[in-house]
Amino acid sequence: MANNRPLILISNDDGFQAKGISALIRFLRPIGDIVVVSPDVARSGYATALTIKSPLHYSKVRQEVGLTVYKCTGTPTDCVKLALSTILTRTPDLVIGGINHGDNSGVNVHYSGTMGIVIEGAINNIPSIGFSLCNYTQDADFDPCGPYVKKIVTQVMENGLPAMTCLNVNFPDTPDLKGIKICSQAKTQWVKEYEPFNHPFGETFYWMAGYMENLDPENTGNDAWALANGYVAIVTAKVDLTDYTLNEKMTQWDWSLSENKDN
Amino acid sequence: MANNRPLILISNDDGFQAKGISALIRFLRPIGDIVVVSPDVARSGYATALTIKSPLHYSKVRQEVGLTVYKCTGTPTDCVKLALSTILTRTPDLVIGGINHGDNSGVNVHYSGTMGIVIEGAINNIPSIGFSLCNYTQDADFDPCGPYVKKIVTQVMENGLPAMTCLNVNFPDTPDLKGIKICSQAKTQWVKEYEPFNHPFGETFYWMAGYMENLDPENTGNDAWALANGYVAIVTAKVDLTDYTLNEKMTQWDWSLSENKDN
């Protein structure tokens, strides 16, 4: 009997045993068949990193009707690539990352392993969505996200997404979600990022620490504002980074090499 | 005596001992004072990845007039963050990544540690440029890039770059460079990405392999075309990934939760 249910590929960067990915699976099982290919341990902050110099391995840890789970030694992006190349027998209808334990709004889109999954899905022309909750703790409460996750996924399935474009969805950490806002990516920046400490033998080491600052706090259209005000923030994200306006300007710059050739 | 020379922060993802970064230093020493903070070993394909769960360390390996070199245990992006937070006493005038041993055109901008450096520079509002040569070998010939690297850097210093925007520059592997083209980011995709092999005890492992395919080969405006035709390809890259056109459309989608709340 042919199976006409949507096929959903899920991954995350907190590892296959994280609470956030379990919640995501629970929310999406009514919508489609799910294959999870997820890092065997937490690999947060891995962005779109690839494993080039070591071989990768994955193994099946669970199989039941409509759900298969693999753990993988790779990065979040490796997981998606391996799933598409070697595990799945057809192209999935959706690639979903998350639900991440922690905020991926603003410039965090660039550091996020969750968004590494989603950008890889978009590069492969599959509608792709990353979900993140602004709570880093292992036992964060993902239940309030459920109805929104389902709504956003079904809307994407109904309307589609343009090629090479994906979604970055962040939830504020509150049970009283005020609804959905379509947002721009906030201009944010990390500050006080390193905490130095001395090794017993004298050398200085640094731990990553700090916090993300919103550089445009008056702007009510960005995801930082939406999250600070209790809204679910959906930000669109393009795989094509080209700044076409700047391209146009730069064609007018002086590109003659004469003066430099003598140096 | 005050030093008014430009301060240039350099990093790469091939490690501080790579031939490509030595060439870059050589090309840029006439232009400014250089501080190198670079991975202690090669960390290619690290994208904008961060080291969150281990402490980082760096040490000075060389100091002479106008040049200081540090090696660092972190990712390329960690190197830039540590330099800006803990090493440099003033904000650099430029952040430069490379010269990478290998092609960072098309979608490789997302996987590239070289561009991880440059995106981090742009997030910090510093004019930033990544340079890459389409030759992966350790002894690649970077000399033909010299006059172009100098020209591009001096043009960026003269004209500036908009906030949160950086440049991805790729060189074809030829001594006969035909000049500079301002390009869009080609729609490319990796194919045949994994080579399976069996461990002596029976399990399958996968090596990353394959090659990048240009999905839009007729387009003479993108970097894949420029490189295939002997031009130096400059692609602009925005830190803000928002697709404002799609944002506008998505505000019209049905976001009411009623039907889902019962699930």
User: Which residue in chain A is spatially nearest to B223 when comparing CA positions?
Assistant: A242
Radius of gyration for the alpha carbons in chain A, expressed in angstroms and rounded: 20
Across the interface, of A179, A185, A194, the residue whose CB is closest to B85 is A194
pLDDT at position B261 over 50: no
From first to last of its 263 residues, chain A has per-residue pLDDT tens of 457 899 999 999 999 999 999 999 999 999 999 999 999 999 999 999 999 999 999 999 999 999 999 999 999 999 999 999 999 999 999 999 999 999 999 999 999 999 999 999 999 999 999 999 999 999 999 999 999 999 999 999 999 999 999 999 999 999 999 999 999 999 999 999 999 999 999 899 999 999 999 999 999 999 999 999 999 999 999 999 999 999 999 999 999 997 544 44
pLDDT at position B251 over 90: yes
Q: How many CB pairs lie under 8 A apart between chains A and B?
A: 230
Closest CA to A92 of A2, A3, A149, A9: A9
Residue B212's alpha-carbon distances to A118, B98, B189, in angstroms, are: 19, 20, 5
Across the interface, of B82, B109, B154, the residue whose CB is closest to A194 is B82
User: Which residue in chain A is spatially nearest to B77 when comparing CA positions?
Assistant: A111
CATH of domain B7-186+217-240: 3.40.1210.10
For A151-172, letters b (16+ CB in 10 Å) and e give: bbbebbbeeebeebbbbbbbbb
Please report the pLDDT score of residue B263 as a whole number.
Answer: 42
Across the interface, of A49, A184, A241, the residue whose CB is closest to B47 is A49
Q: Best of A87, A118, A240, A246 to disrupt the B interface by mutation (most B CBs within 10 Å)? A: A240
Q: Do the Cβ atoms of B83 and B11 come closer than 8 Å?
A: yes
pLDDT tens-digit readout, B100-144: 999 999 999 999 999 999 999 999 999 999 999 999 999 999 999
| Cβ within 8 Å, pair A250-B56 | no
Please report the pLDDT score of residue A32 as a whole number.
Answer: 97
DSSP B156-222: HHHH---TTEEEEEEE-S-S----EEEEBPP-EEEES-EEEEE-TTS-EEEEE--EEEES-TT-TTB
Chain A residues within an 8 Å CB radius of B46? 47, 49
Q: Do the Cβ atoms of B33 and B92 come closer than 8 Å?
A: no
ipTM summary value = 0.95
Please report the pLDDT score of residue B3 as a whole number.
Answer: 73
| Cβ within 8 Å, pair B207-A183 | no
DSSP run (H or E) holding A206: strand A204-208
Please report the pLDDT score of residue A4 as a whole number.
Answer: 86
